[in-house]
Amino acid sequence: HTGSVSTLSGQGIRTIYPRPALVKLVPRSGATVSAMAEVEGLTQAEAKELKDAFSLFDKDGNGTIDVKELGPVMRALGQNPTQREIDDLMKKADVDASGSLGYDEYVQVINSFALTPNDVEIQLRQAFLVFDRDKSGTLNLSELREVLCGMGEPLTEDEATYVLKKIDKNNDGMVDAEEFVQFLCKIV
């Protein structure tokens, strides 16, 4: 993939894959999912998810997102903007000055909040430091098992053991920051 897209997933918008550059030419809201995937460099499933998210935020179903609908988009992206910030973003993103965002303008807003590969790596390294309670520079299997089985959507013991084997590339029973980041970057 050559770009990244954030799409609606559960309570918020998630980044599908790291982004150097997303959309140069984005089809209008009437474009087919196949055309969107082809132009945007997405899989058809990713393009459909992005389009579905747009439709979800387009509360009145008119094919655009107005300033009232932009606030929920921003909150789904993890932002907590003031009304002034929403108004400023609308002015900046509304390139055709229609007073609302069409699908192409919406994609540009989503893209502007997507993480770069470097941002993802930095965040993963910061997470590693939090999990490395003894500050040894490695996670022993019990530290990693605690993270996998106790945070977010917990894994079973068997699932955690499987993941641990996949992460620990040098089979030393420890996971260093590099192994941690490389494994999780493959997933993203």
Q: Mind listing the pLDDT tens digit for each residue in 33-56?
A: 454 444 455 677 777 877 888 888
Collapsed DSSP state (helix, strand, coil) of residue 131? helix
Task: Tell whether 107 and 123 lie within a shared domain.
Answer: no
Would you say 128 and 177 are in contact if contact means Cβ atoms under 8 Å apart?
yes
Render pLDDT for 65-124 as a digit per residue (tens, 0 to 9): 999 998 888 888 778 889 999 999 999 999 999 999 998 898 888 777 777 788 888 988
Domain containing residue 84: 44-113
* pLDDT at position 91: 93
- Tell me, what's the pLDDT at 40? 54
pLDDT tens per residue, range 134-154: 889 998 878 887 877 877 788
Confidence of residue 7 (pLDDT cuts 50, 70, 90): very low
Which of 91, 113, 135 is the last residue in one of the domains?
Answer: 113
Residue 188 confidence class, pLDDT cut points 50, 70, 90? low
* Residue 18 in tokens: 């790291």
Q: Which residue has the tokens 């894959």?
A: 17
* Res 31 pLDDT > 60: no
Q: Which of 81, 82, 78, 103 is nearest to 93 (CA)?
A: 103
The CA distance from 182 to 77, in Å, is 25
CATH number, domain with residue 96: 1.10.238.10
Select the more confidently predicted residue: 13 or 43. Answer: 43
| C-beta of residue 188 within 8 angstroms of C-beta of residue 15 | yes
Token code pair at residue 28 = 């209008």
Domains in the chain, number:
2
pLDDT band for position 187 (cuts 50, 70, 90): low
The pLDDT assigned to 1 comes to 37
Asked if 115 and 175 touch (Cβ cutoff 8 Å), the reply is no
Say how many residues make up the chain.
Answer: 188
Please check whether residues 85 and 105 belong to one and the same domain.
Answer: yes
Mean pLDDT of 55-66: 90
Q: Are residues 104 and 148 in the same domain?
A: no
Which pTM value belongs to this model?
A: 0.52
